[in-house]
Structure 1
Amino acid sequence: MGTTGTGTDPVAGERRQLINVAYRLLGSLTEAEDAVQDAYARWYALPRSRRQEIRSPGAWLSTVTGRICLDVLGSARARRERYVGTWLPEPLPDPREWDHRQAADPAEQLVLDESVAMAFLVVLESMTPAERVAFVLHDVFRYPFAEIAAVLDRTPAACKQLASSARRRAGATRTTGPAGPTGAGRGDAVPGDVVRGVKAAWESRDIPALVDLLDPAAVMTADGGGMVGTALHPIEGGACIARYMVAIADRAPGLELLERTVNGAPGLVAHRAGAVLTVAAFDVTHHRVTRIWVVRNPEKLRPWVRDDQPAVPGPDATLR
């Protein structure tokens, strides 16, 4: 459940893997980094003699990180019941694309694959904490159930049942996990072309063009966290979404859209005066957008702020 580090420190090479696991478990890069930092703190708090006795430091760190994430997921359910509006996962930029000044060391980056697609992460939110841990560790990272049992403090057979239950939950939605296609490219669509068309139609305030690009049953879900203005409830129907998007364009002078990778798939980033205000992820099927996830909560946009940019602005009412 992890690889042995290199050099004199046996845990030197584990951080990237741990962050990758923790982000998929928690849907938040900030919380994932905190969980991994906590795991490392516990490792270094062990007496040197105890650390030397551990045959696989990577497996030890993976187990501890999994347990920390399980605890965080349990408390998060209560916090999200008090969340203003809809809670969405924290969107991820591609650092090589977003900030060309970065060295983009692959050893420090999250793997942007289908298991970080917004559609997939949203499905994970429907699972219980134990189901999510069992499903992500087994189906995404291929950990054996014997090792997952150490994280969940259950038998391997019980963990297998949890993963199976999680698969049924995922199968009850339109989106499937890494074993099948995700929303970012099903059918014969080219997601980048569709998202580029949405950008052009939005910039020209072309409602008919937007309606043509949106599935009639499309849904837009926004997350402002109660900190910025946004739609508190999902907007349903391509025509309604198109009118809403054009209304935003009319009320937000100076707002610019950039085509950027969001969680490994084509997306759009809205900024004004150099500050990122919104990150949007898309689910494209057969040349039409079926889902849009709009993240405006400033606390979730911190990974999108470059050193040469102003900080993400605080509460406003721009995009109600």
Structure 2
Amino acid sequence: MTDIDAFEAQRPRLIRLAYRMLGSVAEAEDAVQDAWLRWTRAGEDVADPAAWLVRATSRLCIDRLRAAKTRREAYRGPWLPEPLIEDLSVDPVERAEDVSVAFLLALERLSPLERAVFLLHDVFDEDYAEVAETLGKTEPAVRQLATRARAHVKENRPRFTVSQADAAKLAAAFMAAAAQGDMAALSAVLAEDAVMVTDGGGKRKAALRPLIGREDIVRLLEGLAWRGGETFPLSFRSVRINGYPGLVLIREDGPMTVAFQPGEDGKLAGIYMVRNPEKLGHLGSDLPVV
């Protein structure tokens, strides 16, 4: 197997790891590209290419997270991961609970090392000895990091209990009610403790705080409708976003994505809107009106 073949065999796994670490499709691809450059300089003495590449990618992601700490702290408004978009016609590549917005936001609350340990052990099924070698830590230290990370993430890692079809119906009901300005119908489709997060990154209009609770969300949408602050999209496409039913919309001021998190009570538990153009460059411009 050539160097290129060995790398390409691992690329999908490396991208999945890097995306969960960084919350960005573009940054994940950059980190894996950096791993490739290191791989080309590693020579022929690598006994286990898969382990070497995971180790290199993990460390590169940790370095990126540490370097981005100040930038993340100065981010204007709520931060959401760059949307991971899949067409509805293809089988999902990822397990929904492992790329959901709620899960990735839970990972954001971990330190870079905690995040790496949790992902490598709990998501990618590496044993503690392998994780310790990857991160240059002792096995007891890795176990302690894993325990701490698991406690933070446990309550935020959703287990989907509704079918994709039922989840899509919830999303469609919300969009229909929003388009008609029917606040009673909007309220009916939202869980009492639903959350709506809009990420504009200071580049486009967005709420500067998460909206918590059905009443808070409806009040904002009602205000937007009253002021005429929201216009119907020029075109849209139904997609899967981070495992959730979602939409890519093209509006007069640019594209945006909306992901709908189904709850366990047959209502929507979360609505996540990404409006920051820096996170939407990978969408392309070939969106048909549907």
TM-score by length of 1: 0.80
Gap regions ≥5 residues in structure 1: 311-320
1:1-320 maps to which residues of 2 (within 5 A)? 9-46=5-42, 51-94=43-86, 96-97=87-88, 111-171=94-154, 173=155, 175-176=156-157, 181-182=158-159, 184-185=160-161, 190-248=166-224, 250-255=228-233, 258-272=237-251, 276-306=255-285, 308=286
Aligned to 2:142, the other structure's residue is in SS state helix
Query: Whole-Å Cα distance in 1 between the matches of residues 253 and 207 of structure 2?
Result: 24
Query: Whole-Å Cα distance in 2 between the matches of residues 224 and 59 of structure 1?
Result: 38
Equivalences, count: 285
Q: CA RMSD in A?
A: 2.8
Shift of 1:91: 0.8
- Larger helix proportion of the pair: 2
Aligned to 2:35, the other structure's residue is in SS state helix
**Identical-residue share of aligned pairs (%):** 39
- 1:197 corresponds to which letter in structure 2? A
Shift of 1:122: 0.9
Shift of 1:244: 2.2
Give CA deviations for 1:126-180 in whole Å, capped at 9, x if unaligned.
1111111000110000011111112321111211111111111123x4x22xxxx
Give CA deviations for 1:83-133 in whole Å, capped at 9, x if unaligned.
111111111110x44xx8xxx8x9xx9535320111111111111111110
Gap regions ≥5 residues in structure 2: none
- 1:167 corresponds to which letter in structure 2? R
Query: Whole-Å Cα distance in 1 between the matches of residues 254 and 209 of structure 2?
Result: 25
Query: Whole-Å Cα distance in 1 between the matches of residues 133 and 263 of structure 2?
Result: 38
Give CA deviations for 1:199-244 in whole Å, capped at 9, x if unaligned.
1111111100001111222221111111111101112221231232
Query: Whole-Å Cα distance in 2 between the matches of residues 260 and 236 of structure 1?
Result: 25
> For residues 155 and 186 of structure 1, do their structure 2 counterparts lie closer, same or farther at Cα, with a shift above 3 Å needed?
farther
Contact persistence 1:185–1:191 (CA under 8 A)? no
Aligned to 1:143, the other structure's residue is in SS state coil
> For residues 8 and 40 of structure 1, do their structure 2 counterparts lie closer, same or farther at Cα, with a shift above 3 Å needed?
closer
Query: Whole-Å Cα distance in 2 between the matches of residues 199 and 269 of structure 1?
Result: 12
Contact persistence 1:280–1:294 (CA under 8 A)? yes
